[in-house]
Structure 1
């Protein structure tokens, strides 16, 4: 896995989507707050029907693009696709809206749960903590990762210590 460089495009919290899923606007200052997933690129990146690419916050799955085939990458992509492909999702943004590649950075709620936390809890991904995004949830995600590692869930049972210390 590699570290991603993220851009500095700001996302004002008051304009971000409603985390309670209440009467959230269809659009925030960052981008859409709801959308339908048209394509799953890998375990942590999707494309909406509207064309926006979305990169999951606090999540890093093994690489399977650009000729790479890291351990458990295909399984992470397939798990992601099972939960989000063709589904209407809700996006919740944090401080920075997009990364250096123009992908929206968001927590993604699918009908069966938040995919960001599901990927970590079930051992399909490692925590990728790049402040200022995720500061309020990083410890929660690290705790889920420790539990998955202790239980040898997913990549932890197949690939060893892939996330480092």
Structure 2
């Protein structure tokens, strides 16, 4: 029977370690899904058309969209309708959160794509005329064309705010 001494392992380790980039540079980047926040949660409340509060108390701002304002004394055209539509689809529901490059905004809210049983809220809100596209790099660069196409279709169909708020749309 042979005995392996600690010195015998060094040549083997020297062969294996170059394959493992432990420095963080050049290797695979961490998955934002694991670093930003929860991947599933229950929605405890709805603030407006593009912001919710999870059962953990964390606020989530939907990526790629902007809905008419109804907070801080503002009452933009179609803001209440956007909030109500959002509430109808997510309140009390378990949602799945998917993050992009930036996890939080300047207000400390999580930035995410939010999937509910009826679909992804970010795209549904734009497609049905409750929201405009809002791109804040670096997030969304891979989905910009998709969202712009959805907004163009909603505008052409005069869906939601595009039909009701002629000349008053504040998210241009």
TM-score range for the pair, normalised by the shorter chain length? 0.7 to 0.9
TM-score by structure 1 length?
0.84
Shift in Å, 1:36: 0.3
Root mean square deviation, CA, Å:
1.3
Query: Aligned match of 2:129 in 123, 126, 130?
Result: 123
CA contact (8 A) 2:32 2:103 kept: no
**Structure with more contact order per residue of length (Cα contacts < 8 Å, sep ≥ 6):** 1
Query: Aligned match of 1:104 in 104, 110, 116?
Result: 110
Distance 2:29 2:155 in 1: 33
Where does the alignment leave 5 or more consecutive residues of structure 2 unmatched? 1-27
CA contact (8 A) 1:43 1:78 kept: yes
Where does the alignment leave 5 or more consecutive residues of structure 1 unmatched? 1-11, 18-27
Equivalent residue number for residue 82 of structure 2: 76
Equivalent residue number for residue 25 of structure 2: none
Q: Specify which structure has the higher proportion of helix.
A: 2
Shift in Å, 1:119: 0.1
Equivalent residue number for residue 96 of structure 2: 90
SS at match of 2:104: coil
Shift in Å, 1:160: 2.0
1:17-75 superposed Cα distances (whole Å, 9 cap, x missing partner): 3xxxxxxxxxx200111000000000000000001000000010000000100000000
Q: Aligned pairs, how many?
A: 143
Query: Aligned match of 1:134 in 119, 132, 140?
Result: 140
Distance 1:13 1:80 in 2: 33
